[in-house]
Amino acid sequence: MDKFIIEGGIPLKGEVIPSGNKNAALPILSACLLTDQPIILHNVPDILDVRTMRALLESLGVRFETLDTHTWKVEAKEICPGELDPELCRNIRASILLAGPMLARAGYIILPPPGGDVIGRRRVDTHILALQKLGAEVEYNRTFSFRCDGLTGADILLDEASVTATENAIMASVLAKGTTILRNAASEPHVQELCHFLNGLGAKIKNISSNTLEIEGVSSLSGGEFTIGPDYLEVVSFIGAAAITNGEIVIHDAGPHYLDMVKLVFNRLGVDWDNKANDIYVPSRQCLCVEPDLDNAIPEISVMPWPAFPTDLMSIAIVVATQSKGTTLFHDWMYPSRMFFTDKLVSMGAQIVLCDPHRCIVQGPTQLLADDITGPDIRAGMALLLAALSADGKSTIRNIRQIDRGYENIDIKLAELGASIERIA
């Protein structure tokens, strides 16, 4: 496998443009199954997870034309429902997103269990319950068999605000007969993008960005054209990298309107930035001091559903905290293995106490030392890359396929900002 060799301690300087949002691209590609008309997608991120989704869709008969690296023409004129490739599904969590649109379009699909990051149990019950409410029949015997004889709108209360379950329910509902009320829906930026994309094709989705969606089913969707927005997780990764290397960068087309809560949390770690129209300016000489609670109590940074602080940024925030003066308690109740990468930060010299699978305490600042480390998942891999950028000495990061799943040409972008990073085959 490829690996990164990183010489740490070099301040990042310059300008960068983030790639398209992976978590928007995957459901939008899935939603192309809902129409037999051609769709042109711009700003598609060139990453492993998106390539895997393309391979899955091609196996269902969807035709792709690459207009340029980040622009695809997608046409699902004739689809072939059947059993998806188990190996492809093992490589990507988002394979589950094909259930909703395939039920709506063809009434049938066999789906092997989805894979993806190993960060603890990731239940699919919410998907099944929502699709059953719309009229689907679901059987499980090592694989999921989804069938229906037409879908009908329903009043659905999701038992958790699952992003992908919300997206599956939306895609199934837009072609269902009647009206669907989707309550306790997730409202992350990528869920909003999916809704705007579908409305551009003729869907009727109301209350976008809220936790209660009203979807009036239509008989068919048209073709169209859509530009995928910036990946806010990549944007915040660049902000964190600049802050802990005493760098100064400008992130163009960054979508700062989505980052208000993230900014509040990073302000508590002594990191700030300026919004300039659609760009973000990260100045050098950050405070990097933890802001305590009243009576000098240790602050807690906890993840919650959007618009609160997202779980996918927890790993980045922990690395920033290792370079901030003070003590912080981090709590991710969503995934029981999210914190398990912290032992690698400890081996680099960080002062971290893992309280239990969901909580850790970070005391900073500490000078991180170079190490030979392996990234266990996409977000932890990127967090360890940030740690290596601020560490003293030359680090090796292995299993960078995980990083490549979610970050496009991250080594090239960092090198253009002055980082000493080399990809070794």
Residues catalogued as catalytic: 117
Q: How far apart are CA 126 and CA 129, in angstroms?
A: 5
Count CB neighbours of 393 within 10 A: 14
Strand pairing category for 326-331 and 279-282: unpaired
Burial class (CB in 10 A: 0-12, 13-18, 19+), 64: middle
- Could you report how far apart the first and last alpha carbons of the chain are, in Å? 6
Number of neighbouring beta carbons within 10 Å of residue 166: 28
Q: Are strands 372-374 and 394-398 parallel, antiparallel or unpaired?
A: parallel
Q: Is 408 exposed, middle or buried (0-12, 13-18, 19+ CB in 10 A)?
A: buried
* DSSP structure string for 79-120: ----BPPHHHHHT-GGGGGGHHHHHHHTSEEEEPPP----SS
Strand order in the sheet with 326-331: 300-302, 326-331, 359-364, 351-356
Is residue 400 within 8 Å of residue 409, measured between CB atoms? no
Rounded distance between C-alpha atoms, residue 112 and residue 76, angstroms: 22
Q: How far apart are CA 109 and CA 111, in angstroms?
A: 6
Dig out the tokens for 174 from the structure. Answer: 């837009």
Residue 230: helix, strand or coil by DSSP? strand
Strand partners, 213: 182
Peptide bond preceding 305: is omega within 30 degrees of 0, i.e. cis?
no
Cα separation, 65 vs 265, in Å, equals 42
